[in-house]
Amino acid sequence: MKYLISLCLLICAAVAPVANAEQVRYISDNLFTYMHSGPGTQYRIIGSVDAGTKVTLLSSNKAAGFTQITDDRGRSGWVDSKFVSNEMGLKERVPALQTELTEVKTKLAEALTSSDTQNAGLKNTLAQRNSQINDLETRNNKLQSELSSSQDEIRELRAKIDTQKDDLLMKWFTYGGLVAGAGLLFGLVLPHIIPRRRKRNNGWA
């Protein structure tokens, strides 16, 4: 059992450095930092690492405050942990930011161009709609005027028809009165015009 536990601990100890070796870190923007042969300033300086350099984290000594790294030139050593960061340095971030800024500016310009085109299209459409509305209003006003004129004309014609009906009735009444008067007069005058026949005296009285 002890042998099995020891074997597990050995495997974990062997795997841990490999896992740490896969972690990527960056030297923070501090111009450069010295690389020592051990975890402390009392160890020999074996070189320096420029700010923003991409390094591989091997291990950390929290008590000493130093981190063991491998730099971009393949050198291994210890540097102050406060100079090791998870973020890229400005030297590498600035070009990426500039590229991103250029892309954003390009997209913004395209968006503005598209927006201007759309606005121009909308303005043209709006102008066409306004022109159509004005034409319709003009035609509507014209039709309203024609309708009003037609209504006035209809009223005048109806008034004339009513007047003509009244005149016609008056004429018929007049003609009827004349005919009746003539008949009455004829009836009164006719007996006086035609002489009466005298009765024969035949002795039968």
**pLDDT by residue (tens digit) across 6-64?**
444 444 444 444 444 467 776 665 577 888 999 999 999 999 888 878 899 999 999 99
What integer is the mean pLDDT of 66-76? 92
pLDDT tens digits, one per residue of 103-124: 888 888 888 888 888 888 888 8
pLDDT tens digits, one per residue of 146-199: 888 888 888 888 888 888 877 787 888 787 878 777 777 777 776 667 666 655
Provide the CA 101 distance to its chain's centre, in angstroms.
Answer: 27
Q: Where is average pLDDT lowest: 22-26, 78-82, 95-99, 103-107?
A: 22-26
pTM: 0.36
89 pLDDT higher than 70: no
Give, as one character, the DSSP assignment of residue 176: H
CB 69 within 8 A of CB 55: yes
Write the secondary structure of 75-127 as one string of H (helix), E (strand) and C (coil): CEEEEEHHHEECCCCHHHHHHHHHHHHHHHHHHHHHHHHHHHHHHHHHHHHHH
- Percentage of the chain beyond pLDDT 90 is 16
